[in-house]
Structure 1
Amino acid sequence: MSRKTTATKNIGKTDKTSDYRFFSETIEIGRISPLSFLEAGSSDYKEKHFYWQNADRTLTIVGLGHAKIITSNEYDKRFLEVSKRWKELCAVLIKEEKDIAPVLFGGFSFDPKSIKASKWDGFPSAYFVVPSYQLISKNGQMFISINLITTDSNAVEEFDALREERDRLIHIAEVNEFASSIKPIVSGIDEIEKDSYLKAVQDVTDQINKGEAEKVVIARSLQMNFEQEVSSVAALHHITSEQQESYHFGLQKNGQLFFGATPERLIEIVDGQAYSACVAGSIKRGKTAMEDRELGEELLNDDKNREEHHYVVNMISNVFNKNCSDVSMPKEPKLMRIRDIQHLFTPIEGKLVSGADIFNLVEELHPTPALGGVPTNKAMEVIRREERMDRGYYAAPIGWTDSDGNGEFAVAIRSGLLDGDKAYLYAGGGIVADSEPDKEYDETWVKFRPVLRALGGKLNG
């Protein structure tokens, strides 16, 4: 029986436990550029695409079209709601054993209780999609899957139409040469509420010295203006080319692309084994190898940065001890060096206990002290009071999971919201008792650089 005949036969069956039927079919293809596949769908799926690449570039995922959208505006149950609805879909999944597991991709807002007016009004508290067309490049092999989630009795005809469209997209990606665009022409950069940011850092430092919190992360934003609209594919091309050591992501919704190149993994699950990274404390890169080494040693021995890192290690290790067995973690941090910045870094791993899934860990890990503060609840209160913006999905979990329970989420820092001929960039830092506003301000410029550079901005403030 042919591959197509087998899949079509399965499509005729209905699972009586659900109104939905979830069909997935995978073919292996020759190597094409994932961004070329994204470009192939840039016209017909302009508002319906995503991009993901892990830090070691062994996995790239591109999604075009929406087989299903899962959203939530719940304050306290958004992680549970997304997990529950995904498991319900997976329970009615029909695919062959050799087919690649379907992916659910998306993100959460940093603070679902934020009520500030913002550019993020089109993004709900949680937004996830199952793509109609899913490209996965993994360890040198490339696969494209069709995902169909339907209640329609004419599913066979619908699936055949998806096959034809899949083949059209592959052909375009194979024969049309992807022309990497020049960087956008920047017409201006506006620092949003700079004075308010500097005042907030000082006010928060004063509050910490009064014992109201131990650490609070305060962020700020820039607005970039361009001479013309910037395409999502161009933005993703430039940032993936320039930030080699990072997680790359792009999530398109309602004409806006949230994208970035983050160094920080929140959680990864591979065959029941969970991995995370404690990343906090930072310093610039040196102009020479010797200066770079000296700055790294300074970071490793700096009390403020070690304290900031210690908060993150404590929090993440507590979450792992609750949700995992056989937890292991080195006693001392090491350096993570990426293009513009050095961080203190401590890896951690453990075996996921029965009943836990990736959304359980994402919920308990967010926000880490590196993005929120210590204690968490108090820090969030201070952020809501002192920051003059809504962070949206900045500093929040973004990533994927699949029908096998594997997945990976990163912390969406070094990121921006691209909106036509404008972009909004975000950066912040941990404020502790001895923080100085001017130094914190300078550090945000280092953190703006990846997105700023990718969009054609200058490297200094």
Structure 2
Amino acid sequence: MALKVRSFFAPAAPVENPDQVFLRQGTEMYGEGVALRVSARGTNRISELSSQFQKIAAESEIQDDVRLAGSGLFGFVSITFAADSEFESAVVIPAKLTVIRDGVSFVTEISEVPEKPLKKTPSGVFLQGDQSATGFIEATKTAIARINESALEKVVLARDLVMPLSGEPDLQPAIQRLYARYPHCWTYLVEDNFGASPELLLRAETGEVSARVLAGTAGRGTDPDVDRAIAEGLKHSTKNQHEHKFAVESLVQTLSSVCENLETDEEPFSLALPDLWHLATDVRGRLKSNVTLLDAVELLHPTAAVAGTPRLPAQALISELEPFDRGGYAGPVGWITADGSGELAIALRGGRIEREPALQIRAFAGCGIVAESDPEAELAETELKFKAVRYAFGS
């Protein structure tokens, strides 16, 4: 479908009730309405979305007076974790996009923005979901046993919480709370998926790519000296170093087939968030010619940080032990443009709106399980990770 796309500089102005957002300190992207949505399911869902978006770009009339990352034909992206998910993966091209970056603002217009339906701010408490705390502990024990008796080295298991809703929710207050509390995370609302992810899957601009691997977690201390000791302990924890190494090696091995000049941090660093410490490693490189951002993402997803290693046995065990469909949780989420730029985080520290069989919010939190894992400690880690979504809704 041919679209008429126009990007132009415009004074920064508040966007009331955007339909899609992608926010991080220094960059705010707000989408209003939907000019076009393309979707896909199954094993080839990422390549199908890439092909559809490239076709739209080739057919569209694009007037880009801005020529910065994010201008021109733009699409918000949400991709499911699993190929067999009942949920769709999609690229959503907004009717109007407002971008505010480091004091510079511009707008992309494609079509009229429709009137927005009335929504209400969600309230309530999160209840145990399909995977109870007891069920998660038992699943973790099973995973450890499988790791000890097979070639499986790591699997990432999640549990869920649900909040029943009485009407179509307005997520903007929750999104703004997340953005204010976690400014260095990637705060997102795309399709029905939302959260504040600390993990960048892949960013591309003029062919240069970067990624951030997170694996290994500890809670923050209330006393500064204790907090520093926790960060040091995390860096020297055998279990967490083991888990982190798997995630980094998996990402580098995969990226090496589509990238040149790959570089990684020599040692992981401790990344501080308001509630947690994470072990983190940054990776940088350059995409080979004729390789798109979504081409690379298709190879990378799911990473060892959200699935496990080896990947296929880990995915099979997730499917066996998790009694829910992850949908967009732990899948790529972010944006792409016609010129090849884009930024895709991993959809973490949040959840999704569900409408069937009942209207509710389902939140997710997961942990990397390795041979040294302790089930009770892994359960406690999920509670730490749920702090973000509980804070967002004041629950």
TM-score by length of 1: 0.79
Greater shift after overlay, 132-141 or 299-308? 132-141
Question: Whole-Å Cα distance in 1 between the matches of residues 77 and 135 of structure 2?
Answer: 32
The alpha-carbon distance between structure 1 residues 432 and 188, as it changes in their structure 2 partners (threshold 3 A), is closer
Counterpart for residue 32 of structure 2: 64
1:171-204, CA deviations, whole angstroms, 9 ceiling, x for partnerless residues? xxxxxxxxxx9x8542553354322211110011
1:295-329, CA deviations, whole angstroms, 9 ceiling, x for partnerless residues? 01100001110011101111111122211111111
Counterpart for residue 231 of structure 1: 170
Contact 1:187 / 1:227 at 8 angstroms: preserved in 2? no
How far the C-alpha of 1:31 sits from its partner, in A, is 1.9
State whether structure 2 residue 4 is matched by structure 1 residue 28.
no
Percent identical pairs in the alignment equals 27
2:215 is paired with a residue of what secondary structure?
strand
The alpha-carbon distance between structure 1 residues 31 and 204, as it changes in their structure 2 partners (threshold 3 A), is same
Q: Which amino acid is the alignment partner of residue 98 of structure 2? A: L
115, 128, 140: which one pairs with 1:190? 128
State whether structure 2 residue 247 is matched by structure 1 residue 312.
yes
Contact 2:4 / 2:62 at 8 angstroms: preserved in 1? yes
Q: Which amino acid is the alignment partner of residue 23 of structure 2? A: Q
Counterpart for residue 315 of structure 2: 380
Question: Whole-Å Cα distance in 2 between the matches of residues 260 and 137 of structure 1?
Answer: 20
2:146 is paired with a residue of what secondary structure?
helix
Question: Whole-Å Cα distance in 2 between the matches of residues 243 and 60 of structure 1?
Answer: 14
41, 50, 54: which one pairs with 1:73? 41
How far the C-alpha of 1:68 sits from its partner, in A, is 1.2
State whether structure 2 residue 23 is matched by structure 1 residue 53.
yes
Counterpart for residue 214 of structure 1: 153
State whether structure 2 residue 95 is matched by structure 1 residue 132.
yes
1:96 is paired with a residue of what secondary structure?
strand
State whether structure 2 residue 74 is matched by structure 1 residue 103.
yes
Question: Whole-Å Cα distance in 2 between the matches of residues 206 and 357 of structure 1?
Answer: 40
Root-mean-square deviation (CA, aligned residues, Å) is 2.1
How far the C-alpha of 1:71 sits from its partner, in A, is 0.5
The alpha-carbon distance between structure 1 residues 312 and 70, as it changes in their structure 2 partners (threshold 3 A), is same
1:305 is paired with a residue of what secondary structure?
helix
The alpha-carbon distance between structure 1 residues 228 and 333, as it changes in their structure 2 partners (threshold 3 A), is same
**Matched residues, number:** 384
How far the C-alpha of 1:227 sits from its partner, in A, is 6.9
Contact 1:185 / 1:227 at 8 angstroms: preserved in 2? no
209, 223, 231: which one pairs with 1:274? 209
2:137 is paired with a residue of what secondary structure?
helix
1:223-257, CA deviations, whole angstroms, 9 ceiling, x for partnerless residues? 124676641222212222222221000023xxxx3
Question: Whole-Å Cα distance in 1 between the matches of residues 169 and 33 of structure 2?
Answer: 21
430, 433, 448: which one pairs with 2:386? 448
Question: Whole-Å Cα distance in 2 between the matches of residues 399 and 380 of structure 1?
Answer: 23
Describe how 1:53-452 pairs up with structure 2 within 5 A: 53-54=23-24, 57-75=25-43, 77-99=44-66, 100-114=71-85, 121=86, 123-124=87-88, 126-148=89-111, 162=112, 184-187=122-125, 189-194=127-132, 195-225=134-164, 230-252=169-191, 257-419=192-354, 422-452=360-390
TM-score by length of 2: 0.92
1:252-280, CA deviations, whole angstroms, 9 ceiling, x for partnerless residues? 3xxxx310000000000011101011211
The alpha-carbon distance between structure 1 residues 143 and 439, as it changes in their structure 2 partners (threshold 3 A), is same
Name the one with the larger helix percent: 1
1:193 is paired with a residue of what secondary structure?
coil
Counterpart for residue 151 of structure 1: none
Q: Which amino acid is the alignment partner of residue 61 of structure 2? A: I
How far the C-alpha of 1:141 sits from its partner, in A, is 1.5
Question: Whole-Å Cα distance in 2 between the matches of residues 249 and 107 of structure 1?
Answer: 10
Q: Which amino acid is the alignment partner of residue 453 of structure 1? A: Y
Structure possessing the higher radius of gyration over alpha carbons: 1
1:60-86, CA deviations, whole angstroms, 9 ceiling, x for partnerless residues? 1111122111111132x1111111111
Contact 1:188 / 1:226 at 8 angstroms: preserved in 2? no
How far the C-alpha of 1:129 sits from its partner, in A, is 1.0
Question: Whole-Å Cα distance in 2 between the matches of residues 403 and 187 of structure 1?
Answer: 42
How far the C-alpha of 1:419 sits from its partner, in A, is 4.5
- Runs (5+) with no aligned partner, structure 2: none
Q: Which amino acid is the alignment partner of residue 26 of structure 2? A: T
Greater shift after overlay, 134-143 or 401-410? 134-143
Contact 1:69 / 1:130 at 8 angstroms: preserved in 2? yes
- Runs (5+) with no aligned partner, structure 1: 1-19, 42-48, 115-120, 149-161, 170-180
Question: Whole-Å Cα distance in 1 between the matches of residues 281 and 374 of structure 2?
Answer: 26
Contact 1:187 / 1:226 at 8 angstroms: preserved in 2? no
